[in-house]
A and B are shown apart, each in its own frame.
Chain A
Amino acid sequence: MTGPEPGPVGPEPILSVRHLSVRAPNRTILDDVSLDFCDREVAAIIGPSGCGKTTLVRSLNRMTEVAPGVRIEGSVRYRGEEIYDPRVNPVLVRQRIGMVFQRPVPFPLSIYENVAFGLRLQGIEEAEVDRTVRRSLEQAGLWKELDGDVERSGLTLSGGQQQRLCIARALAVKPRVLLLDEPAASLDPTATQRIEELIFDLRKEYAVIIVTHNMQQAARIANRTAFLYQGRLIEYSDTHQLFENPREKLTESYVTGRFG
């Protein structure tokens, strides 16, 4: 795979983050971060451990507030609409902006019911659920691989398959944005490659934002890359430029492996 070209910055980003700060009781996790994410592109967020990568993506679908004692300031707009507006329903935010975690988390249900989970929450009718489950599993490359055997428990799948099951589950509710928090961190190289290929395909329909520890991974799949350091956004530009010709000294030392 070769790295994709970044598209032209559209007039309207799908997600736009302005002056976002996240504070825990005794420290600042994210400090005044502003950046835009475009539709039908992959954006990677890189940086050393504890730099706030995970907190940043979790703030994009209001999962940060699930933890107690966290204060969030600033603004995140989804297609122009403020997701932190008190009148906004976080449940709907999370349906539009799906999320997949570092470790695969299949529910203790069948493969089918795992993918149907979000649809059942919305009370969607059976025939539609059936179609969507199948299409989502096909998108994640699981339908063929499992030969349509989707009645067994999701826990019986291998780690890589479980992670693709979680991606299928996130896709089933038809999100516009997909947040992936180090989706390949617990997988072997072959499973990682399958996930990367999948992300590459997903870019045609979704905005994908991926947190990764792995700079080669970012270089392979991301149109744009953001470098975070100690809670601050140091640099955000197209991937080639960030890796080959970074504007900031700090970025250069990180991408050339001088720390991290």
Chain B
Amino acid sequence: MSLPSLPSAPLGDLRGSAARWRRRHLLDRAMRWGLPLALLVVLFPLFDMIYWIAVRALPTFTWATLTTDQVGLGGGLYAMIVGSFTLLALATGFAAAVGIAAGMYTAEYAPPSIARWARVAGNLLAGIPAIVLGYFGYYALVLYTHWGYTTLAGGITLGVFMVPFVYRTADLAFANVPSEQREAALAMGARPGQYLVRVALPIALPAILSGVFLAMAIGLGETAPLLYTAGWSSTPVAGLFQPTSFLTGAIWNFYDYPSTEGSFQALAFQAAFLLLILVIGLNVVVQAVAERYRRRTRGMMA
């Protein structure tokens, strides 16, 4: 259907000035190209880095890389893998236990003034440079305790580094439970503790878990909290009070090693590649858990 032709009216009212129209047109053009370009600049380093590391790690990456100890200037990453996972397990245990309990207290029990102060302090702790925390760990857990460099000192220091991430998500997850749920539970004769365990925890758990996984992904990639606390060992971790090696340490120690054969450097790239895979994997888990959380609480948060 065509529009009925209208008697021609003097133009101008609807057109505005030509110069202004041109300016807007140019601005639109600039935005149309500029914004995607900005996104490209954001994402480029990620893909460049993955490529750069894969190219150097993959040619020499074999099953043996994962299963053999470091020998002389070569060998595999076995000791570092075991060390990293031992440290991560200790750190996650510490961070999850302390972080969730503190989040529960902040969201449910703490007087508002204390809760506000604690949230600020938690954010502050998350912003402390890892190397400063590493030095604190060295002072408190290596020197003061007379333990020396130990797996336990490394695990706890890494745990302290991870705590604020768990704490923040746990606090938020409990605080985001709809207040009607709390009222309904109390009206059923539940005490605050019973409400927390039976109603709030199941609702908040997926969000808390995604916080824990996120903290694990961040902790797995950290070097600084471990450098002055966990020590180093070319054989797999022998006990909590023995030193241990770890994957990020391989990069730190081997990357600039003046080796003509280059196998030490290859080891550094293989460690970097493995870390990248693990961190990406953990992030995928975080997304999956978060999605599940959204689906589960739909209809409750309306």
* Chain A residues within 8 Å of B, Cβ to Cβ: 61, 63, 66, 91-92, 94-95, 98-99, 101, 103, 105, 107-109, 117-118, 120-122, 155, 166, 169-170, 173
Contact = CB atoms under 8 A, between A and B. Distances in A.
Contact of B186 (A94, A98, A166): A94
A98 B187 CA distance: 7
9 contacts: A91-B191, A94-B187, A94-B189, A105-B181, A105-B183, A107-B184, A107-B198, A107-B199, A155-B300
B189 A95 contact: yes
B189 A101 contact: no
Contacts of A173: 188-189
Interface string B200-225: 00110000000000000000000000
Given A118-B189, A121-B190, A121-B194, A109 B202 contact: yes
Interface string B158-191: 0000000000000000000010110111111111
B187 to A, nearest CB: 4
Interface of B: 178, 180-181, 183-191, 194, 198-199, 202-203, 296-297, 299-300
B183 A108 contact: no
Given A101-B180, A108-B199, A63 B189 contact: no
B189 to A, nearest CB: 4
B183 A169 contact: no
In the A-B complex, list the 7 residue pairs whose CB atoms are closest, starting with the nearest.
Answer: A105-B184, A99-B187, A95-B189, A105-B180, A118-B188, A94-B189, A91-B189
Q: Is the interface of B mostly helix, strand, loop or mixed?
A: helix
A173 B194 CA distance: 16
B252 to A, nearest CB: 45
Nearest to B199: A107
A18 B40 CA distance: 71
A99 B297 CA distance: 23
B289 to A, nearest CB: 16
A233 B156 CA distance: 62
A159 to B, nearest CB: 10
A66 B108 CA distance: 12
Please indicate which of the listed interface residues B181, B190, B191 has the most CB atoms of chain A within 10 Å of its own CB.
B190
Nearest to A97: B187
A118 B189 CA distance: 7
Contacts of B187: 61, 63, 94, 98-99, 101, 170
Residue among A66, A99, A105 with the most chain B CB within 10 A?
A105
A114 to B, nearest CB: 10
A66 B194 contact: no
Contacts of B189: 91-92, 94-95, 118, 121-122, 173
A173 B185 CA distance: 13
